Amino acid sequence: MSAKYSTASDAIASWREDVLTGTKPPRWPLGDGFDDVELGPGLVLLLGGAPGAGKTALAMQWTLDALRIDLELRALVANVESSPRVLLDRQLARLSGIPLADIRDRRLDEQHGDRLAVAFDILDTVSDRLAFLEAPFNLENVAAAADATDSKLILLDYAQRFAADSDNKRHEVNRLMDYLRKFADAGCGMLVLAAVGRTKNRQGQSSYDPAGLNLASFRESSELEFGCDSAYMLAPDKDGGRTLACLKNRHGEPADVSLRFDGSLQRFESANIWRPEDFDVSHLWQGGDDAAE
Ligand SMILES: Nc1ncnc2c1ncn2[C@@H]1O[C@H](COP(=O)(O)OP(=O)(O)OP(=O)(O)O)[C@@H](O)[C@H]1O
Protein backbone atom coordinates (compact mmCIF):
# COMPACT_ATOMS: atom_id res chain seq x y z
CA MET A 1 0.00 0.00 0.00
CA SER A 2 1.31 3.45 -0.80
CA ALA A 3 1.72 5.78 2.16
CA LYS A 4 -1.05 8.34 2.63
CA TYR A 5 -0.10 11.70 4.14
CA SER A 6 -0.08 15.41 3.46
CA THR A 7 2.88 17.67 4.04
CA ALA A 8 2.70 20.53 6.50
CA SER A 9 3.22 22.98 3.62
CA ASP A 10 0.10 21.62 1.90
CA ALA A 11 -1.92 21.85 5.10
CA ILE A 12 -0.59 25.28 6.04
CA ALA A 13 -1.39 26.87 2.68
CA SER A 14 -5.18 26.54 2.92
CA TRP A 15 -5.26 26.83 6.71
CA ARG A 16 -3.28 30.11 6.69
CA GLU A 17 -5.68 31.48 4.09
CA ASP A 18 -8.62 30.66 6.40
CA VAL A 19 -6.93 32.24 9.42
CA LEU A 20 -5.99 35.42 7.59
CA THR A 21 -9.37 35.87 5.88
CA GLY A 22 -11.30 35.09 9.09
CA THR A 23 -12.92 31.98 7.57
CA LYS A 24 -14.31 30.06 10.54
CA PRO A 25 -15.08 26.33 10.53
CA PRO A 26 -18.74 26.17 9.40
CA ARG A 27 -21.37 25.66 12.13
CA TRP A 28 -25.11 25.29 11.87
CA PRO A 29 -27.21 27.57 14.09
CA LEU A 30 -29.38 25.51 16.46
CA GLY A 31 -31.65 28.31 17.68
CA ASP A 32 -31.70 30.75 20.58
CA GLY A 33 -29.77 29.66 23.66
CA PHE A 34 -27.69 26.99 21.93
CA ASP A 35 -24.76 29.08 20.69
CA ASP A 36 -22.26 26.97 22.65
CA VAL A 37 -23.46 23.69 21.15
CA GLU A 38 -21.30 23.02 18.10
CA LEU A 39 -22.76 21.07 15.21
CA GLY A 40 -21.47 21.39 11.67
CA PRO A 41 -19.57 19.60 8.89
CA GLY A 42 -16.90 17.28 10.23
CA LEU A 43 -18.33 17.06 13.76
CA VAL A 44 -19.93 14.22 15.72
CA LEU A 45 -22.19 15.35 18.56
CA LEU A 46 -23.41 12.68 20.97
CA LEU A 47 -26.62 13.30 22.94
CA GLY A 48 -27.52 10.87 25.73
CA GLY A 49 -30.16 10.70 28.39
CA ALA A 50 -32.59 8.40 30.17
CA PRO A 51 -35.68 7.17 28.28
CA GLY A 52 -38.19 10.03 27.99
CA ALA A 53 -35.63 12.72 28.87
CA GLY A 54 -36.49 14.50 25.62
CA LYS A 55 -33.54 13.58 23.37
CA THR A 56 -35.68 13.12 20.28
CA ALA A 57 -37.62 16.33 20.96
CA LEU A 58 -34.43 18.37 21.40
CA ALA A 59 -32.66 16.83 18.40
CA MET A 60 -35.67 17.45 16.14
CA GLN A 61 -35.95 21.03 17.41
CA TRP A 62 -32.26 21.63 16.59
CA THR A 63 -32.64 20.02 13.16
CA LEU A 64 -35.75 21.98 12.18
CA ASP A 65 -34.34 25.26 13.52
CA ALA A 66 -31.03 24.72 11.69
CA LEU A 67 -32.99 24.16 8.46
CA ARG A 68 -35.11 27.25 9.09
CA ILE A 69 -32.08 29.48 9.65
CA ASP A 70 -29.63 28.01 7.12
CA LEU A 71 -31.48 27.82 3.82
CA GLU A 72 -28.61 25.92 2.15
CA LEU A 73 -28.75 23.07 4.64
CA ARG A 74 -30.32 19.67 3.96
CA ALA A 75 -30.93 17.09 6.67
CA LEU A 76 -31.62 13.38 6.96
CA VAL A 77 -33.48 12.04 10.00
CA ALA A 78 -32.86 8.35 10.67
CA ASN A 79 -35.24 7.48 13.50
CA VAL A 80 -35.69 3.78 14.19
CA GLU A 81 -38.51 4.20 16.68
CA SER A 82 -40.84 6.95 15.45
CA SER A 83 -42.49 7.45 12.07
CA PRO A 84 -42.33 10.78 10.20
CA ARG A 85 -46.01 11.41 11.07
CA VAL A 86 -45.32 11.09 14.80
CA LEU A 87 -42.26 13.35 14.54
CA LEU A 88 -44.23 15.90 12.50
CA ASP A 89 -47.11 15.91 15.03
CA ARG A 90 -44.56 16.87 17.67
CA GLN A 91 -43.01 19.64 15.59
CA LEU A 92 -46.45 20.96 14.67
CA ALA A 93 -47.19 21.32 18.40
CA ARG A 94 -43.93 23.20 18.95
CA LEU A 95 -44.31 25.52 15.99
CA SER A 96 -48.02 26.24 16.42
CA GLY A 97 -48.21 26.35 20.23
CA ILE A 98 -51.17 23.93 20.09
CA PRO A 99 -50.91 21.12 22.68
CA LEU A 100 -49.57 17.86 21.26
CA ALA A 101 -52.49 15.92 22.79
CA ASP A 102 -54.95 17.95 20.69
CA ILE A 103 -52.87 17.51 17.55
CA ARG A 104 -52.47 13.78 18.10
CA ASP A 105 -56.22 13.31 18.59
CA ARG A 106 -56.96 15.82 15.79
CA ARG A 107 -59.08 17.94 18.15
CA LEU A 108 -58.66 20.98 15.95
CA ASP A 109 -61.18 23.59 14.81
CA GLU A 110 -61.38 27.16 13.46
CA GLN A 111 -59.83 28.66 16.59
CA HIS A 112 -56.59 26.84 15.71
CA GLY A 113 -56.63 27.94 12.07
CA ASP A 114 -54.18 30.84 12.25
CA ARG A 115 -51.64 29.02 14.39
CA LEU A 116 -51.80 25.94 12.17
CA ALA A 117 -51.31 28.11 9.09
CA VAL A 118 -48.17 29.71 10.56
CA ALA A 119 -46.73 26.31 11.53
CA PHE A 120 -47.48 24.74 8.14
CA ASP A 121 -45.86 27.75 6.43
CA ILE A 122 -42.70 27.17 8.45
CA LEU A 123 -42.74 23.45 7.64
CA ASP A 124 -43.15 24.32 3.95
CA THR A 125 -39.89 26.29 4.05
CA VAL A 126 -37.94 23.19 5.16
CA SER A 127 -39.88 20.27 3.74
CA ASP A 128 -37.93 19.88 0.49
CA ARG A 129 -34.64 19.94 2.44
CA LEU A 130 -35.64 17.37 5.06
CA ALA A 131 -35.72 13.62 4.45
CA PHE A 132 -36.66 10.67 6.67
CA LEU A 133 -34.83 7.36 6.36
CA GLU A 134 -36.99 4.33 5.67
CA ALA A 135 -36.07 0.71 6.48
CA PRO A 136 -33.59 -0.89 6.37
CA PHE A 137 -32.14 1.05 9.26
CA ASN A 138 -28.48 0.42 8.69
CA LEU A 139 -25.50 2.64 7.93
CA GLU A 140 -25.29 1.56 4.30
CA ASN A 141 -28.81 2.91 3.74
CA VAL A 142 -27.99 6.07 5.75
CA ALA A 143 -25.00 6.72 3.44
CA ALA A 144 -27.04 6.05 0.28
CA ALA A 145 -29.94 8.26 1.43
CA ALA A 146 -27.60 11.07 2.54
CA ASP A 147 -25.94 10.98 -0.90
CA ALA A 148 -29.24 10.86 -2.77
CA THR A 149 -30.69 13.82 -0.83
CA ASP A 150 -27.41 15.71 -0.50
CA SER A 151 -28.00 15.85 3.26
CA LYS A 152 -25.16 17.21 5.36
CA LEU A 153 -26.82 17.08 8.76
CA ILE A 154 -27.60 13.50 9.74
CA LEU A 155 -29.64 12.70 12.86
CA LEU A 156 -29.31 9.11 14.09
CA ASP A 157 -31.93 8.18 16.68
CA TYR A 158 -30.43 6.14 18.24
CA ALA A 159 -26.85 4.97 17.85
CA GLN A 160 -27.03 1.52 19.39
CA ARG A 161 -29.83 0.54 16.98
CA PHE A 162 -27.51 1.19 14.03
CA ALA A 163 -24.93 -1.28 15.25
CA ALA A 164 -25.29 -4.47 13.21
CA ASP A 165 -26.95 -7.30 15.08
CA SER A 166 -24.26 -9.33 16.64
CA ASP A 167 -23.46 -11.47 19.63
CA ASN A 168 -20.86 -8.90 20.44
CA LYS A 169 -22.88 -5.70 20.67
CA ARG A 170 -20.11 -3.79 22.41
CA HIS A 171 -17.68 -4.53 19.57
CA GLU A 172 -20.30 -3.46 17.00
CA VAL A 173 -21.04 -0.17 18.78
CA ASN A 174 -17.34 0.56 18.92
CA ARG A 175 -17.09 -0.09 15.17
CA LEU A 176 -20.06 2.21 14.67
CA MET A 177 -18.00 5.20 15.81
CA ASP A 178 -15.42 4.42 13.08
CA TYR A 179 -18.19 4.73 10.53
CA LEU A 180 -19.61 7.90 12.10
CA ARG A 181 -16.17 9.50 11.83
CA LYS A 182 -16.03 8.51 8.16
CA PHE A 183 -19.35 10.32 7.57
CA ALA A 184 -17.89 13.36 9.37
CA ASP A 185 -14.67 13.20 7.34
CA ALA A 186 -16.82 13.25 4.20
CA GLY A 187 -18.26 16.61 5.32
CA CYS A 188 -21.37 15.55 7.24
CA GLY A 189 -22.33 16.73 10.72
CA MET A 190 -23.57 13.84 12.84
CA LEU A 191 -26.16 14.37 15.57
CA VAL A 192 -26.16 11.01 17.31
CA LEU A 193 -28.58 10.07 20.07
CA ALA A 194 -27.49 7.35 22.44
CA ALA A 195 -29.13 5.16 25.04
CA VAL A 196 -27.52 5.25 28.44
CA GLY A 197 -27.27 2.50 31.02
CA ARG A 198 -28.61 2.71 34.56
CA THR A 199 -26.19 3.58 37.30
CA LYS A 200 -26.29 2.85 41.03
CA ASN A 201 -27.68 5.69 43.12
CA ARG A 202 -26.60 6.54 46.67
CA GLN A 203 -28.89 3.84 48.08
CA GLY A 204 -27.23 1.30 45.80
CA GLN A 205 -30.36 0.97 43.63
CA SER A 206 -30.10 0.80 39.88
CA SER A 207 -31.49 4.05 38.40
CA TYR A 208 -31.12 6.81 35.81
CA ASP A 209 -30.25 9.29 38.58
CA PRO A 210 -28.83 12.33 36.71
CA ALA A 211 -26.08 12.69 39.29
CA GLY A 212 -24.68 9.30 38.27
CA LEU A 213 -24.79 9.76 34.49
CA ASN A 214 -21.40 10.39 32.90
CA LEU A 215 -19.42 9.51 29.78
CA ALA A 216 -19.18 5.88 30.84
CA SER A 217 -23.00 5.70 30.91
CA PHE A 218 -23.24 5.49 27.10
CA ARG A 219 -24.42 1.95 26.84
CA GLU A 220 -22.25 -0.75 25.27
CA SER A 221 -19.57 1.63 24.29
CA SER A 222 -16.31 3.12 25.24
CA GLU A 223 -15.53 4.19 21.67
CA LEU A 224 -18.63 6.43 21.42
CA GLU A 225 -17.28 8.68 24.15
CA PHE A 226 -13.74 8.80 22.72
CA GLY A 227 -14.69 9.24 19.08
CA CYS A 228 -17.20 12.08 19.37
CA ASP A 229 -16.29 15.77 19.27
CA SER A 230 -18.79 16.71 21.94
CA ALA A 231 -21.00 14.72 24.28
CA TYR A 232 -24.07 15.95 26.15
CA MET A 233 -26.34 14.34 28.70
CA LEU A 234 -29.93 15.59 28.95
CA ALA A 235 -31.16 15.17 32.51
CA PRO A 236 -34.28 16.33 34.39
CA ASP A 237 -33.84 18.96 37.11
CA LYS A 238 -35.66 18.99 40.43
CA ASP A 239 -37.89 21.87 39.26
CA GLY A 240 -39.07 20.05 36.13
CA GLY A 241 -36.57 21.74 33.79
CA ARG A 242 -33.69 20.01 32.08
CA THR A 243 -29.94 20.40 32.24
CA LEU A 244 -28.02 19.77 29.05
CA ALA A 245 -24.78 18.77 30.71
CA CYS A 246 -21.68 19.00 28.51
CA LEU A 247 -19.52 15.98 29.33
CA LYS A 248 -16.97 16.60 26.63
CA ASN A 249 -16.09 19.36 24.19
CA ARG A 250 -13.06 18.70 22.05
CA HIS A 251 -13.02 22.22 20.59
CA GLY A 252 -13.82 24.41 23.56
CA GLU A 253 -14.64 24.71 27.20
CA PRO A 254 -17.45 22.35 28.26
CA ALA A 255 -20.49 24.48 29.15
CA ASP A 256 -23.78 23.20 30.57
CA VAL A 257 -27.05 24.70 29.32
CA SER A 258 -30.07 25.14 31.63
CA LEU A 259 -33.31 24.54 29.80
CA ARG A 260 -37.04 24.70 30.27
CA PHE A 261 -38.99 21.87 28.68
CA ASP A 262 -42.67 22.10 27.88
CA GLY A 263 -43.65 18.49 27.11
CA SER A 264 -47.14 19.36 25.90
CA LEU A 265 -45.58 21.57 23.20
CA GLN A 266 -42.38 19.50 22.81
CA ARG A 267 -40.47 22.75 23.18
CA PHE A 268 -37.10 23.45 24.76
CA GLU A 269 -35.91 26.95 25.54
CA SER A 270 -32.96 28.37 27.39
CA ALA A 271 -33.72 29.03 31.06
CA ASN A 272 -31.82 32.30 30.61
CA ILE A 273 -34.31 33.73 28.13
CA TRP A 274 -36.53 36.33 29.79
CA ARG A 275 -40.27 35.60 29.83
CA PRO A 276 -42.80 38.21 31.03
CA GLU A 277 -44.68 35.61 33.09
CA ASP A 278 -41.54 34.95 35.15
CA PHE A 279 -41.78 38.44 36.58
CA ASP A 280 -44.97 39.03 38.52
CA VAL A 281 -45.11 42.79 39.03
CA SER A 282 -48.77 42.95 40.05
CA HIS A 283 -47.80 43.63 43.69
CA LEU A 284 -46.21 46.90 42.57
CA TRP A 285 -49.53 48.10 41.19
CA GLN A 286 -51.20 46.84 44.33
CA GLY A 287 -48.78 48.89 46.39
CA GLY A 288 -49.56 51.94 44.27
CA ASP A 289 -53.30 51.57 44.89
CA ASP A 290 -52.75 51.21 48.64
CA ALA A 291 -50.58 54.29 48.63
CA ALA A 292 -53.30 56.25 46.85
CA GLU A 293 -55.97 55.37 49.44
N1 LIG B 1 -48.85 15.26 25.23
C2 LIG B 1 -47.82 15.37 26.05
N3 LIG B 1 -47.85 16.20 27.11
C4 LIG B 1 -46.81 16.32 27.94
N5 LIG B 1 -45.64 15.65 27.78
C6 LIG B 1 -45.56 14.82 26.74
C7 LIG B 1 -46.61 14.63 25.82
N8 LIG B 1 -46.22 13.72 24.89
C9 LIG B 1 -44.95 13.38 25.22
N10 LIG B 1 -44.55 14.02 26.32
C11 LIG B 1 -43.26 13.93 26.98
O12 LIG B 1 -42.28 14.40 26.10
C13 LIG B 1 -41.07 13.69 26.30
C14 LIG B 1 -40.62 13.19 24.96
O15 LIG B 1 -39.43 12.63 25.14
P16 LIG B 1 -38.56 12.04 23.92
O17 LIG B 1 -39.34 10.97 23.21
O18 LIG B 1 -38.03 13.16 23.13
O19 LIG B 1 -37.46 11.39 24.83
P20 LIG B 1 -36.24 10.49 24.47
O21 LIG B 1 -35.18 10.94 25.41
O22 LIG B 1 -35.98 10.56 23.01
O23 LIG B 1 -36.79 9.10 24.93
P24 LIG B 1 -36.65 7.63 24.29
O25 LIG B 1 -35.23 7.28 24.47
O26 LIG B 1 -37.57 6.84 25.17
O27 LIG B 1 -37.11 7.77 22.88
C28 LIG B 1 -41.38 12.57 27.29
O29 LIG B 1 -40.90 12.94 28.57
C30 LIG B 1 -42.89 12.48 27.28
O31 LIG B 1 -43.41 12.07 28.51
pLDDT digits (tens, 9 = 90+) for 75-128: 999 999 999 999 999 999 999 999 999 999 999 998 999 999 999 999 999 999
Domain ranges of the chain: 27-266
**Pocket around ligand 1 at a 6 A CB cut-off:** 49, 51-57, 81, 100-101, 263-264
How far is residue 170's CA from residue 160's CA, in Å, rounded to a whole number?
9
**How high is the ipTM of this complex?**
0.96
Is the bond preceding 136 in cis, omega lying within 30 degrees of 0?
yes
Closest atom of ligand 1 to 49 CA is 21
Average pLDDT score over residue span 165-178: 75
DSSP 148: H
Q: Which fold has domain 27-266?
A: Rossmann fold (3.40.50)
pLDDT digits (tens, 9 = 90+) for 218-264: 766 667 888 899 999 999 887 779 999 999 999 999 999 999 999 99
- What does the radius of gyration of the chain's CA atoms come to, in whole angstroms? 22
Q: Output the pLDDT for position 271.
A: 87
Ligand 1 pocket test, pick from 87, 96, 100 with the greatest ligand atom count within 8 Å of Cβ, gives 100
Q: What is the pTM of this model?
A: 0.89
The amino acid occupying position 109 is: D
163-195: string of b/e by CB count within 10 Å (b at 16+)?
beeeeeeeebbbbbbebbbebbeeebbbbbbbb
